[in-house]
Amino acid sequence: MIKNILNNKIYEICIKDNFFHLKNYVNIIDIYPNSISILLLDKKLNISGSNLIISAMDEYEILIKGNIKNIEFKDR
């Protein structure tokens, strides 16, 4: 079952108490204290706010901590 989830390229997002958890991202584009851009399979994800840091990551998941003010999806 876990293997099926990891092979699934559909992203999943969970936002909770100043944490942003993303599953199945492709690549990190830019990292700044006030914005982080992440490439998804078919979209670009822009997260803006303040004191944004990547607190954990691996090749499938990323956890961002900070004061998240805006989340924007753009077509690739």
Extents of the domains making up the chain: 2-75
- The model carries a pTM of 0.85
Percent of all residues in the chain with a pLDDT value above 90, rounded to a whole number: 78
Architecture of domain 2-75 in this structure: Sandwich (2.60)
Length of the chain: 76
Which pLDDT score, from 0 to 100, does residue 2 have? 60
C-alpha distances out from residue 40 to 1, 7, 58, 73, Å: 22, 14, 15, 10
Is 66's pLDDT higher than 70?
yes
What is the rounded distance in angstroms from the CA atom of residue 11 to the CA atom of residue 75?
14
Predicted confidence band at 50 (pLDDT cuts at 50, 70, 90)?
very high
pLDDT tens digits, residue range 22-45?
Answer: 999 999 999 999 999 999 988 999
* 36, 54 contact by CB (below 8 A): yes
What is the rounded distance in angstroms from the CA atom of residue 67 to the CA atom of residue 60?
23
